[in-house]
Amino acid sequence: MELLAVLVALALLLVVFLAIGKWYPGTGADVLDWQPTRSYEDEIRLEIEDIDEMLEASNERRRRTGRPELTEDQVRLEVEQHLMEQQERARDLKDK
């Protein structure tokens, strides 16, 4: 009998938490008064700067070894080709 009472209490508690989550008008971030440390614009700007820095470092190393420099478009094309090859391999493995 005690086990039944404990299970009912836990089920009721679960229902209460689910109801709060469903019908609470705000989000968890609102409750905690949480704000992102950086804006989305800052994040995008930093990503672009990171890409430029990585490409420049790669090209500096390529210049030292006598290889031609890469452009961002070439790198994007190479990444796209690798992704297509990876998806093709995944389809082949799935078909087996």
Q: Which residue has the tokens 């019908």?
A: 23
Q: How many helices (H) and strands (E) does the chain have?
A: 4, 0
Three-state DSSP state, 4: helix
- How far apart are alpha carbons 31 and 37 in whole angstroms? 17
pTM of structure: 0.53
pLDDT in tens, 42-86: 999 999 999 999 999 999 999 999 999 999 999 999 999 999 999
As a whole number of angstroms, the distance between CA 89 and CA 87 comes to: 5
How far is residue 67's CA from residue 59's CA, in Å, rounded to a whole number? 9
